[in-house]
């Protein structure tokens, strides 16, 4: 991906993160409720250098329940396995990072950016931006696993408390191999123009790779983000789920896929691994995202949500997508 103009034009390339080689520097962010194993495989097939698991509670790993096993499902088809952990206690992170459950994973990403109130109140996610000593101990704890460690964070809690320069330096000093900076403060949540200059400040403050995230909803947005920040790579969030074909567009990866063919592929793959209730829930969410810009789909979407079986859902998806630009 490059517009070919100027020294700051963004180039897609392989990149080493710690001891882990990523096939491209265009990544898919962890998204709670969305980046399951089938989706991660699809993103990588389309050109993503990697895709992270949904957010996993470091503390919850000790229970090894059914929900956690779904979040952590992986097999030999997934290369560069990346898991994201959420928590606030360094010893809990260390135990999780060294656990058998995370043994298959190459990279541990530490969530230090989630802005939702219940997470912040628990001292997790964005709250760690205000507790830099604790954040440092968490990174050090994860590094003791011997795995590659990345950190995903925001700029600060609000416009008066932007700490990204100090925070980035702490991440590097504590052993982090990479930082992904979401270009908004916690108080901005998911709205507003990213503050590109602060991502650039983080990049200029450290020697480890810095990836830029936030507000990317097109190839043009991705180029703008890369060029304004000088980041080593970009990480797509919600738009990667709305339009996974963006990975092929950004990386120049050749594929003959359409949104409809991707849905059918995801339906088959998820049916191999998960129970029917999970498959129905996941595919309905994915299809709803795919339908965002399709006119006249209100009734068809209602029909889709009434589907009670995989076979019924397959038929309805055909009725929705066949004959549209998303199936051609």
Paired tokens of 173: 């000093």
**Which residue among 36, 82, 114, 153 is the active-site one?**
114
Distance between CA atoms of residues 195 and 209, nearest Å = 19
Contacts of 308 (CB under 8 A, 6+ apart): 280
Query: Which backbone phi and psi does 323 adopt, to 5 degrees?
Result: 85, 0
Paired tokens of 317: 């998806």
114 is catalytic: yes
Exposed e or buried b per residue across 227-243, where buried means at least 16 C-beta atoms within 10 angstroms of its C-beta: bbbbbbbbbbbebbbbb
Distance between CA atoms of residues 92 and 97, nearest Å = 9
Exposed e or buried b per residue across 127-137, where buried means at least 16 C-beta atoms within 10 angstroms of its C-beta: bbbeebeebbb
Q: What is the DSSP letter of 182?
A: E
Active site residues: 114
């Amino acid at each position: 991906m490059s517009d070919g103009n100027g020294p700051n034009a963004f180039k897609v390339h392989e990149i080493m993160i710690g001891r882990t080689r990523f096939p491209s520097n265009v990544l898919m962010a962890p998204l709670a409720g969305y980046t399951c194993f089938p989706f991660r495989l699809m993103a990588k097939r389309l050109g993503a250098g990697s895709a992270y698991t949904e957010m996993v509670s470091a503390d919850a790993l000790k229970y090894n329940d059914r929900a956690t096993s779904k979040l952590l499902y992986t097999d030999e088809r997934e290369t560069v396995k990346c898991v994201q952990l959420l928590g606030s206690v360094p010893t809990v992170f260390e135990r999780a990072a060294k656990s058998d459950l995370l043994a298959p994973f190459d990279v541990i990403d530490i969530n230090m950016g989630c802005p939702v109130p219940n997470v912040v109140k628990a001292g997790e996610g964005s709250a760690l931006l205000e507790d830099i000593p604790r954040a440092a101990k968490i990174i050090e704890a994860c590094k003791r696993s011997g795995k590659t460690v990345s950190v995903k964070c925001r700029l600060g809690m609000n416009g008066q408390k932007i700490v990204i320069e100090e925070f980035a330096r702490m991440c590097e000093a504590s052993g982090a191999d990479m930082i992904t900076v979401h270009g908004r403060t916690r108080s901005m949540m998911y709205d507003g123009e990213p503050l590109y200059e602060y991502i650039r400040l983080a990049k200029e403050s450290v020697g480890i790779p810095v990836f830029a995230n936030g507000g990317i909803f097109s190839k043009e947005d991705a180029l703008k983000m890369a060029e304004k920040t000088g980041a080593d790579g970009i990480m797509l969030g919600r738009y990667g789920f709305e339009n996974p074909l963006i990975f092929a567009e950004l990386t120049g990866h050749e594929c003959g896929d359409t949104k409809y063919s991707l849905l059918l592929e995801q339906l088959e793959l998820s049916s191999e691994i998960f129970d029917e209730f999970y498959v129905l829930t996941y595919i309905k969410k994915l299809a709803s995202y795919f339908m965002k810009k399709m006119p006249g789909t209100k009734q068809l979407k209602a029909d889709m949500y009434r589907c009670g079986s995989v076979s019924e859902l397959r038929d309805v998806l055909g009725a929705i997508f066949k004959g549209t630009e998303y199936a051609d």
